Structure 1
Amino acid sequence: MSRSTTSEHSAAAVVAPEDAVGASTRYVARRHAEPQELAQATGAVDDDAGGRHPSLKARALRLLAQRDYTRAELAQRLASHAPDAAALQAVLNECVARGWLDEQRAVDSLLRRRAERWGAQRVQAELRARGVDAETLRAVRQRLDASELERALALWQQRFGRSPTDARERARQLRFLVARGFAADVARRVVPPASAGAPGDDGDA
């Protein structure tokens, strides 16, 4: 199997066909906000010192126009600009109600960017850091586990593409996959013994 074919197939195993809908709405603020809504949101408001700065809603839309965010990480980015917690939650709630902020879309977006290069452990760690809840993390792990070996093999072929020449080289290849978040047992199945065997079969550690 060619490298490009393997990589494309592994990506398809992680991102289901219905995820294409989410991909088409990645820039949610630009796509979903009405022009007059954006014009109002990008306006400035006065502060106590007489200066002017973007409204909290404007800041949210500018961030969401760049990429998808989880609610927790958007809240973290906006917190220092919010006058109080109630104002922050009001903006977040409006973004959710209007479809600009979507937790599942943010998760799917990260999977599209990371899954081909990262193993399940590392992907989950980033999602956890972004405030994704435990139930969603479990669902993501199931999706990733179904293609973990295939994705690790595609990455190994792209990075190395040939059996290691000795034990030291094999250890280096194993470390590479483990550092990318693939489990040690998956890495051992992918990296063949030194100068022997086809990747993807079980081999000696």
Structure 2
Amino acid sequence: MNKPLTESELRQRAVSLLARRDHARRELETKLRSKVGDHPALAAVIEWCEEHGFIDDRRFAGFFVRSRIDRGQGVLRIRQELQQRGVASELIESALQETEVDWFALAREVRARRFRQYPQDQKEKARQLRFLQGRGFDAEQSFAALVPGDEEMA
């Protein structure tokens, strides 16, 4: 039978997870809980990580938003993923506003990378719309991305 982890060993596990990538507070707590159960020192370890700057939901949200924009994901999907990771709504909105991204331009760019041509019929238009909405762009951004713009005139 396994002996229970000490608080020090639990801290090492937390730091090991954080060394791989940044985590939101709730995300780290969930991962640790899945490995060690309801450990009495879990809350103290999470607090220790926050006090030492190892976890910071504001920083995490900012990095996360930028990485998802680089992947070509839209605002709706980014917001949903951050909510699933337990980041507070005000931190999510703040991180999204700080990026100052043109979501319409990003939707056009993502569409152009995936599809060679603008849709010629309803079936193709529906396919491209589903693709963009699956990426997290809202209806307005998705429809705007399907209209040939100035970039095609060059």
TM-score (norm. length: structure 2): 0.82
Residues 32-60 of structure 1 deviation map (CA, whole Å, 9 limit, x = unaligned): xxxxxxxxxxxxxx826xx99x8110110
> In the TM superposition, what are the counterparts of 1:170-189 in structure 2 within 5 Å?
170-189=125-144
**Cross-structure match for 1:198:** 149
Residue 89 (structure 1) shift: 1.6
The separation in 2 between residues aligned to 1:145 and 1:177, in whole angstroms, is 20
Residue 144 (structure 1) shift: 6.2
Residue 113 (structure 1) shift: 2.3
> In the TM superposition, what are the counterparts of 1:103-122 in structure 2 within 5 Å?
103-116=57-70, 117-122=72-77
Could you tell me whether the CA contact under 8 Å between 2:76 and 2:138 is conserved in 1?
yes
- Which segments of structure 1 move beyond 4 Å, counting only runs of 4 or more? 143-146
Could you tell me whether the CA contact under 8 Å between 1:118 and 1:181 is conserved in 2?
yes
Structure with the largest fraction of helix: 2
Unaligned runs of 5+ in 2: none
2:40 pairs with 1:89 = no
Q: 2:23 aligns with which of 63, 69, 79?
A: 69
- Sequence identity, in percent? 34
Could you tell me whether the CA contact under 8 Å between 2:27 and 2:86 is conserved in 1?
yes
Q: Provide the aligned C-alpha RMSD in A.
A: 2.5
2:55 pairs with 1:101 = yes
TM-score (norm. length: structure 1): 0.63
Alignment length (residue pairs): 146
Unaligned runs of 5+ in 1: 1-45, 201-205
Q: Which has the larger radius of gyration?
A: 1
2:9 pairs with 1:55 = yes
Could you tell me whether the CA contact under 8 Å between 2:29 and 2:42 is conserved in 1?
yes
The separation in 2 between residues aligned to 1:68 and 1:165, in whole angstroms, is 43
